[in-house]
Amino acid sequence: MVYKKMLANLPCWCGSGKKYKKCHEAFDERIIAAEKEGHIVPSRKLLKTPEQIKGIRDAAVINRACLDEVAAKIRAGMSTQEIDDIVAATTKKMGGICATLGYEGFPKSCCTSYNDQVCHGIPSEEDILQDGDIINVDCTTILNGYYADSSRMFLIGDVDPEWKKLVDVTRECVEIGVKETVPWHYLGDMADAVNRHARAHGYEIVEEIGGHGCGNDFHEDPFVSYVTTPGTEMLMVPGMVFTIEPMINMGKHHVFVDEENDWTVYTEDGSPSAQWEVEILVTEEGHEVLCW
Ligand code: MF3
Ligand code: CO
Ligand code: CO
């Protein structure tokens, strides 16, 4: 058993000041019942307090501003380094820190992944955006110790309709994931809805990289897979914050990592790949998208 109750008359763990029995006792019993049935449940430290949620919301304002700024300026002829400069300047101006810079040795302030690059593309002076490219820009901001993580796709100039469709369907997949983020359902329910929509269009979702808990740290539990079964994976409990960020390939799901930089992930068959990422809070009533 990971999840334990408290003594009934003690002040509740959530910090409300109320007695446990008048506050989260019934809530905890629901988690324990799921765990007894053999389900994966979050540890209490994955359930964010109101103060932590406020901190993540504030970080998210900066993350969204970065991507809004990129959206306003991105164009053919620009280098991916210039995108990095926009993200770095916007974050600095608003008092945040770019979480990717120096993260496990990653050298830049955001990730820029285009065409057959699946994720973790490294911004560079040498990579110039061309007419017809599709590109994902993924930013993560730290503010007062809280993390906001999201990414968007951008179409450069005149994009092949099939590639545009990949970008649009990937966005729809994330929208479906958001809709299926329902308290007391399972991550596997959400994930399977995402995957069915991708498959209906003949696309495949990358298996080894996915979403993650986020907020008090960059990458927290759980790992959020999109290739899994309904009724499995972690119970979605109010207070959990995680990302929905499927990487969807027009071809097969197989990927490999660039041997030279040890970061950039490519599709094995050279087909284009798209990704959108949102950070979402599970609430009592449903969910709140914090960052997109
Ligand atoms: N932002 C990415 C994510 O969504 C992680 C990038 S880590 C980096 O989880 F080191 F590659 F930047
Ligand atoms: Co993420
Ligand atoms: Co991200």
Query: Which tokens hold the place of 70?
Result: 């990129």
218 in a structural domain: yes
Q: How many structural domains is the chain composed of?
A: 1
269 in a structural domain: yes
- For tokens 């017809």, what's the residue? 132
Residue pLDDT, tens place only, 139-158 = 999 999 999 999 999 999 99
Instruction: Specify the ligand 1 atom closest to the Cα of 103.
Output: 10
Pick out the chain residues at pLDDT < 50: none
- For tokens 């660039």, what's the residue? 258
155 in a structural domain: yes
SS3 36: helix
Per the CB < 8 A criterion, the answer to whether 41 and 3 are in contact is: yes
Q: What is the pLDDT of residue 2?
A: 73
13 in a structural domain: no
Instruction: Specify the ligand 1 atom closest to the Cα of 104.
Output: 10
Query: Which tokens hold the place of 266?
Result: 């490519």
Strand partners, 257: 265
Query: Which tokens hold the place of 274?
Result: 């798209």
| Domain of 163, in residue numbers | 48-291
Phi, psi of 151 (to 5 degrees): -150, 155
42 in a structural domain: no
Distance 245 CA to ligand 2 centre (A): 7
Q: What is the pLDDT of residue 1?
A: 64
6 in a structural domain: no
Q: What is the pLDDT of residue 15?
A: 87
Distance 143 CA to ligand 2 centre (A): 16
Distance 18 CA to ligand 2 centre (A): 35
**Closest residue CA from atom 4 of ligand 1:** 149
Instruction: Specify the ligand 1 atom closest to the Cα of 108.
Output: 12
249 in a structural domain: yes
CATH number at residue 188: 3.90.230.10
112 in a structural domain: yes
Residue pLDDT, tens place only, 57-79 = 999 999 999 999 999 999 999 99
Q: Is 138 in the pocket of ligand 1 (CB under 6 A)?
A: yes
Query: What is the per-residue DSSP string for 254-278?
Result: -EEE-TTTS--EEETT---EEE-BE
Per the CB < 8 A criterion, the answer to whether 47 and 36 are in contact is: no
